Amino acid sequence: MNNTCLTSVDLTKASLSTQIPMATVKNTVRVAAAQMTSVNDLMANFNTCSRLVQEAASAGAKLICFPENFSYMGEKSGDSVKIAEPLNGPVMQRYCSLARDSNIWLSLGGYQERFDDTHLCNTHVVIDNTGMIQTTYQKMHLFDVDVPGGSSYKESSFTVPGTNVVSVDSPVGRLGLTVCYDLRFPSIYQQLRFDQKAQVILVPAAFTTVTGEAHWEILLRARAVETQCYVIAAAQAGKHNEKRESYGDTLIIDPWGSVVGRLPGENLRSYFVTTLSDIFWMQFDTFVGACRSFFDWHYCGRY
């Protein structure tokens, strides 16, 4: 399928239901979130990304976010190790050129960065509109699951976990970087918001259909509410091979926890564009600061 979906949401209007006093909006910026069905073909995946990047840039987006495993989805866990490359390898350089030629920032979550002959790092890469890598984050929480009577998956068997929480300034605000399974660990989001002052948190993911249906949206909305950040969650969707299928449902959520952009799972190889307003960042910075001071005082006084 080659469906293309374009949705534009004005967060200033969407915010009226929150009953938070609004000032005059001075600056807005457009971001795009992509949804795709990656396969075990590096060039085919790049061609899909290239088309979506060019369309998003033409729609005025300053940043487009791609899901985990955007560049490759193997049939077996060892396949990813075989194709893993360093950041200066030809695969990532191809994406750097794409960002430069399209004059847009790229969030590339879940890149297979080579660590050694038997291991890789699941790396979230942010590239600016000049084609330079601005920062990288290596996924800290690895997905290990063993379902009784069912399948098992051990990301830790071939992936080295990261150790650092990472954020970076961008044209759409200060970005906090995470990857997929990190979503289940609130502490990293607290660090991004309160210690590193993130305003927009990125969650590139490849949730399974079972876990996605049960937990995907509720966890994303919880992370947005508890941090008072925008959350952009680009997702893999559909059947990658005979063994693996992803849930999809790419979302952008505002600091109130409202879904302001959605791409349902049946939309494959698509994207949508949403407008973010910096008035939210100013208001919620003040609100969160007050809440943090209260809770710090409350816990200190109680304990």
Nearest to 237 by CA among 220, 261, 262, 259: 262
The SS3 call for residue 190 is helix
Q: Is 49 a catalytic residue?
A: no
Nearest to 277 by CA among 192, 196, 200: 200
Nearest to 80 by CA among 181, 175, 160, 179: 160
Amino acid at 237: A
Buried b (16+ CB within 10 A) or exposed e, 43-69: eebbebbbebbebbbeeebbbbbbbbb
49, 55, 113, 139: which one is catalytic?
139
Q: Is 68 a catalytic residue?
A: yes
How far apart CA 109 and CA 60 sit, in angstroms, is 22
Element (H, E) at 96: helix 90-102
CA distances from 109 to 33, 225, 275, 291 (A): 12, 23, 21, 31
Phi/psi class of residue 297: alpha, beta or left (left: φ > 0; alpha: ψ in -120 to 50)? alpha
CB 137 within 8 A of CB 177: yes
CB 11 within 8 A of CB 260: yes
Q: Is 62 a catalytic residue?
A: no
55, 68, 113, 155: which one is catalytic?
68
CA distances from 31 to 62, 105, 182, 189, 275 (A): 6, 9, 22, 21, 6
49, 96, 121, 180: which one is catalytic?
180
Which positions are annotated as active-site residues? 68, 139, 180
